A = this chain, B = another copy of it.
Amino acid sequence: MIVQDILDGNRRALSRFLTSVENRRELVQAELTELYQHSGNSHIIGVTGAPGTGKSSLVTALVKQLRMQDQTVAVIAVDPTSPFSGGAILGDRIRMRDLSGDKGVYIRSMATRGNLGGLAIATQDMARVLSAAGYDIVLIETVGAGQSEVDIVRLAHTTLVVEAPNLGDDVQAIKAGILETADILVVNKCDLAGAEKTKRALNAMLELGHPTKHHDDIEIMWIPPIVETSTKTKSGIDQLVASIHDHRAYLSDHNVLTQVRTQNLSDEFYQRLQVSLFKRFVATIDDNRIAGIINRMAKYEIEPQQGVDKLLAEIDFIQSQE
């Protein structure tokens, strides 16, 4: 029933269900399994960028532009600085209000807590539900200065990395690991004087070491375009949307979308496996045994990795045959 409500576009049912996914996921596995079969039709866009790049305003402008093209959009804001997220205690909520009357837009924020891959997994669950709910675009927004944020946007079909001029040192916001995940590079705040310099630096980085995006063994001959935008002068947003469409067309023209999807699923599988395995293992181990090891670590009697190896050496994995 809740599944049908979500498929039918009932927003209240959707919101309620997403809360269950966030808080008590194990109780809604059956519903998630059913929804999964309907979750393959959205284009998933990841947007990441350091604080100060104006990423949140850009996302708002992007959503408006997509709406003008009659595409429905769901936004997952995994970003405490976002106006969409609860973390923005003192933040500007006006931008959010700009979009809130529109039935074709759904906005959901995620807490940035959760550790060791848990957040990326939860985001992925939510993106699937929103996809099943029929949104053409699911846009995942995250602050991209850390590994966990890269893990989140890595699961998107198209990833935008947002930069801006004058953020301290020229290269400060350009991080190798994050740049590599980019399908489209955005120089936001392009009305500012330093924009040309930022663009040149990005171009240099692209030429140096990241001419194409690699999905492990899949080589994709896509060179990330650099798009200049300004939410202040309202320029470049249409080009940005055009680049997103180009990338999507590229993926399907070259039949790479399926391969990208399989690679993403594989990454996701291992992330989920690590988290679930750990939970299950810890539940089977006597707490006192672990406390005893930590106590000996504290007394400098066992080195930490030695303590872990010791515990694991006493365990056998017994698997039934298929």
- Which residues of A are in contact with B by a Cβ distance under 8 Å? 25, 29, 32-33, 36-37, 39-40, 50-54, 80-81, 87-92, 112-117, 119, 121, 124-125, 143-149, 151, 167-173, 175-177, 201, 204-205, 208, 258, 261-262, 265-266, 268-278, 280-282, 284-285, 289-290, 293-295, 297-298, 300, 303-309, 311-312, 314-320, 322
Decide if the interface of chain A is mainly helix, strand, loop or mixed: helix
Residues from chain B with a CB closer than 8 A to the CB of A305 are: 25, 29, 32, 121, 125, 272, 276
Query: Closest Cβ of chain B: how far from A29's Cβ, in Å?
Result: 7
How far, in whole Å, are A270 and B279 apart by their CA atoms in the complex?
A: 11
Is B208 a contact of A89 with CB atoms below 8 Å? yes
Is B80 a contact of A176 with CB atoms below 8 Å? yes
Q: Name the CB-closest residue of B to A81.
A: B172
Q: Most chain-B Cβ atoms within 10 A of its Cβ — which of A87, A91, A168, A281? A: A168
Is A276 a contact of B309 with CB atoms below 8 Å? yes
Query: Closest Cβ of chain B: how far from A125's Cβ, in Å?
Result: 8
Copies held by the complex = 2
Is B33 a contact of A306 with CB atoms below 8 Å? yes
The answer to whether A274 and B278 touch (CB under 8 A), given A37-B300, A147-B115, A169-B91, is: yes
Residues from chain B with a CB closer than 8 A to the CB of A90 are: 170-171, 201, 204
How far, in whole Å, are A317 and B315 apart by their CA atoms in the complex?
A: 6
How far, in whole Å, are A113 and B261 apart by their CA atoms in the complex?
A: 23
How far, in whole Å, are A169 and B314 apart by their CA atoms in the complex?
A: 52
Residues from chain B with a CB closer than 8 A to the CB of A89 are: 171, 205, 208
Is B319 a contact of A284 with CB atoms below 8 Å? yes
The answer to whether A173 and B51 touch (CB under 8 A), given A115-B151, A303-B33, is: yes
How far, in whole Å, are A89 and B144 apart by their CA atoms in the complex?
A: 19
Residues from chain B with a CB closer than 8 A to the CB of A298 are: 258, 261-262, 265
